[in-house]
């Protein structure tokens, strides 16, 4: 008690000690506010990240609309039409379960029928393809992963050539998939980028897949290409689900 009174009197009657004490107090208080602000900002990151994802979804839909508008300009000149037809729409989602070590892997995402999700829609993120929707409920969707031995996705070289083939997984390494049926005359080399071909009603053209890791031309007349995925399939969170707005029309023609 007496020691506390003595310290108080020393600080009050001595300008140097008073100044030092106030500076120390301000430093501690400032540091506390700084740490509090940092902690607050940390907890805001989740909300800010979700906002960015939703903004990206809106931007993707705008880009898809503008692309369809651009593609239809020659037709507009001929028909004097003012109608533009967007081909794809995008919905953001979050992965809540992920398998990648089994022969037939699946994922679960937190969007379902109520969000407009249905069977056979493409799933990807900013790094590349992830899978295809297989079954939906009101609020959730099961996705057949690219790491599933039943999955087939049409892919091509990004180098400007029109060579394409089925992309599949041999069930061995979750970091790699295989691009098959690429003719030997195709100009392909290690390091080339592989993207979706757009030759289906599921994936838009040009979605990233990965890079050429190895080329095996010993077994047939075609190249069998090992592709290193851009995505780390063991560490996935946010995704986009793509709806082809022309799918029913295309399917009707295919089935006639």
DSSP states of 24-76 as a string? HHHHHHHHHHHHHHHHHHHHHHHHHHHHHHHHHHHHHHHHHHHHHHHHTHHHH
Query: Both tokens of residue 43?
Result: 């907890």
**pLDDT at residue 20 in the model:** 53
Domain boundaries, the chain: 1-86, 88-255
pLDDT of residue 137 exceeding 60, the answer is yes
pLDDT: is 6 or 192 the higher one?
192
pLDDT: is 148 or 18 the higher one?
148
Give, for 147, the enclosing helix (H) or strand (E): strand 141-148
**pLDDT at residue 50 in the model:** 65
| Mean local confidence (pLDDT), 199-223 | 88
**pLDDT at residue 236 in the model:** 93
pLDDT: is 159 or 50 the higher one?
159
Measured over the CA atoms of residue 170, residue 107, residue 64 and residue 86, the dihedral's sign is positive
Between CA 133 and CA 211, with CA 168 as vertex, the angle to 5 degrees is 105
**pLDDT at residue 153 in the model:** 97
| Mean local confidence (pLDDT), 60-84 | 46
What are the phi and psi torsion angles at 221 (to 5°)? Answer: -80, -10
pLDDT: is 51 or 50 the higher one?
50
pLDDT of residue 136 exceeding 70, the answer is yes
How is domain 88-255 classified at the CATH fold level?
A: Thrombin, subunit H (2.40.10)
pTM: 0.70
**pLDDT at residue 191 in the model:** 95
Give the model confidence (pLDDT) of 227-236 as tens digits: 999 999 999 9
| Mean local confidence (pLDDT), 106-111 | 96
| Mean local confidence (pLDDT), 78-102 | 76
Write down the H helix ranges in the chain.
Answer: 2-13, 15-71, 73-79, 247-255
Average pLDDT in the chain: 79
Phi-psi region of 77 (alpha: psi -120 to 50; beta: other; left: phi over 0): alpha
pLDDT of residue 160 exceeding 70, the answer is yes
| Mean local confidence (pLDDT), 167-184 | 95
Distance of alpha carbon 253 from its chain centroid, rounded?
31
Beta bridge pairs of residue 239? 93
pLDDT of residue 64 exceeding 70, the answer is no
Banded model confidence at residue 78, pLDDT cuts 50, 70, 90: very low
- Lowest mean per-residue pLDDT among 24-38, 71-85, 91-105: 71-85
Kindly report the number of other CB atoms within 10 A of residue 159's CB atom: 13
């Amino acid at each position: 008690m007496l020691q506390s009174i003595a310290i108080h009197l020393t600080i009050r009657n001595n300008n140097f000690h008073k100044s030092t004490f106030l500076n120390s107090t301000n430093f501690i208080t400032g540091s506390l506010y700084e740490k509090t602000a940092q902690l607050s900002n940390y907890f805001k990151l989740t909300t800010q990240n979700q906002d960015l994802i939703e903004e990206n979804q809106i931007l993707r839909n705008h880009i898809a609309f503008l692309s369809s508008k651009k593609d239809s300009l020659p037709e507009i000149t001929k028909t004097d039409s003012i109608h533009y037809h967007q081909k794809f729409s995008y919905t953001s989602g979050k992965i809540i379960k992920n398998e990648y070590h089994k022969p037939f892997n699946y994922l679960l995402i937190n969007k379902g029928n109520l969000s407009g999700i249905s069977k056979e829609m493409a799933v990807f993120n900013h790094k590349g393809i992830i899978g295809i929707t297989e079954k939906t409920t009101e609020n959730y969707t099961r996705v057949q992963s690219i790491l599933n031995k039943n999955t087939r996705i049409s892919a091509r070289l990004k180098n400007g050539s029109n060579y394409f083939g089925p992309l599949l997984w041999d069930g061995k390494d979750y970091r790699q998939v295989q691009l098959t049926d690429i003719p030997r005359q195709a100009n392909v080399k290690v390091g080339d980028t592989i993207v979706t071909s757009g030759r289906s009603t599921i994936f838009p053209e040009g979605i990233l897949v990965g890079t050429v890791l190895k080329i095996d031309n010993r077994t047939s007349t075609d190249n069998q290409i090992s592709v290193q995925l851009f995505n780390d399939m063991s560490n996935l969170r946010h995704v986009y689900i793509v709806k082809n707005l022309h799918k029913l029309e295309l399917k009707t023609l295919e089935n006639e």
